[in-house]
């Protein structure tokens, strides 16, 4: 069951999400040819420390493996959970997904963006545009009185109408005092399904979109998820608060 946040919890969510957005905004201009994904990770770690937060990813355990980095940085065919490395040097034509999850004062802020290293191909430009717009579509569907499946359906319909596919093995989710709370928010589904949306839900809405097929696989490191067909993938994410006045994005970048 999804629990609405109290006024105090929402205040603390706002603080955590503002920091997550600030860290993401700090990293984006650093994405350039010649830099390594490890360089970006260390910049993210330092930014979190300056803002009094910590990474919610570092040490996170899944299938008896602990995530070894402070950020998730996924390049090209990597969908999510890419592990930063000094061996991964960014080049022109790459697309780089930055996924930043921070913990501050007991609450989580979660957001992501995919950054192009120009020049990129027209197909990659389309992939990034469709994924970014699918996030907007999903956020707009997070209306009080709607159902979780309405978010899922809106994202899927938009993505597939533009010739791309939505990843089915990973989902959006509730977020609060922990990184993953109910509900799961797939990026595909049927209208009118799932729990009814009430005021005070805090949801991580995150389309993961592939230029090719939707199937994925996980690499031997146990974390990095890649497209099964090697096609490029993009990822955009916001943490959203549901209100009677409409969805409010808590991870808007700093003005």
Q: State the pLDDT at residue 21.
A: 98
Q: What is the 3-state secondary structure (H, E, C) of the chain?
A: CCCCCCHHHHHHHHHHHHHHHHHHHHHHHHCCCCCEHHHHHHHHHHHHHHCCCEECCCCCEECCEECCCCCEEEECCEEECCCCCCCCECCCCCEEEEEEEEEECCEEEEEEEEEECCCCCHHHHHHHHHHHHHHHHHHHCCCCCCEHHHHHHHHHHHHHHCCCEECCCCCEEECCCCCCEEEEECCCCCCCCCCECCCCCEEEECCEEECCCCCEEECCCCCCEEECCCCCEEECEEEEECCCCCCEECCCCCC
* First-to-final CA distance of the chain: 35
Closest by alpha carbon to 73, among 230, 239, 238, 223? 223
pTM over 0.75: yes
Q: What is the pLDDT along the chain (255 residues), one digit of tens a residue?
A: 899 999 999 999 999 999 999 999 999 999 999 999 999 999 999 999 999 999 999 999 988 899 999 999 999 999 999 999 999 999 999 999 999 999 999 999 999 999 999 999 999 999 999 999 999 999 999 999 999 999 999 999 999 999 999 999 999 999 999 999 999 999 999 999 999 999 999 999 999 999 999 999 999 999 999 999 999 999 999 999 999 999 999 999 987
CA distance 48 to 44: 6
Residue 136 structure tokens: 């907007």
Q: What is the largest CA-CA distance in the chain?
A: 48
Set out the domains of the chain in order of their start, with CATH numbers.
7-249 (3.90.230.10)
Edge-to-edge order in the sheet of strand 181-185: 181-185, 172-174, 202-205, 238-241, 248-249
- Residue 102: C-alpha distances to residues 22, 61, 127, 230, 254 (Å): 11, 16, 27, 30, 16
Beta bridge partners of 147: 196
């Amino acid at each position: 069951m999804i629990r609405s946040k109290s006024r105090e919890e929402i205040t603390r969510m706002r603080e955590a999400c503002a920091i997550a957005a600030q860290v993401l905004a700090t990293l984006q201009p650093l994405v350039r040819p010649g830099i390594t994904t490890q360089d970006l990770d260390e910049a993210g770690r330092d930014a979190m420390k300056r803002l009094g937060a910590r990474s919610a990813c570092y040490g996170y355990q899944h299938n008896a493996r602990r995530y070894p980095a402070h950020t998730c940085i996924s390049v090209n065919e990597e969908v999510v959970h890419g592990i930063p490395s000094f061996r991964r040097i960014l080049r022109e034509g790459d697309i780089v997904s930055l996924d930043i999850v921070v913990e501050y004062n007991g609450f989580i802020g979660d957001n992501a963006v995919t950054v192009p290293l120009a020049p990129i191909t027209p197909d990659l430009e389309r992939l990034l545009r469709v994924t970014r717009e699918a996030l907007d579509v999903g956020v707009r569907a997070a209306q009080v009185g709607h159902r979780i499946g309405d978010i899922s359906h809106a994202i899927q319909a938009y993505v597939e109408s533009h010739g791309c596919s939505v990843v089915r093995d990973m989902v959006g989710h509730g977020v609060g005092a922990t990184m993953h709370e109910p509900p799961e928010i797939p990026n595909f589904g049927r209208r009118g399904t799932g729990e009814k949306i009430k005021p005070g839900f805090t949801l991580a809405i995150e389309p993961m979109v592939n230029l090719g097929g939707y199937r994925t696989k996980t690499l031997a490191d146990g974390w990095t998820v890649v497209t099964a067909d090697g096609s490029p993938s993009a990822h955009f994410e916001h943490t959203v608060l549901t209100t009677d006045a409409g969805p409010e994005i808590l991870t808007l970048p700093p003005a």
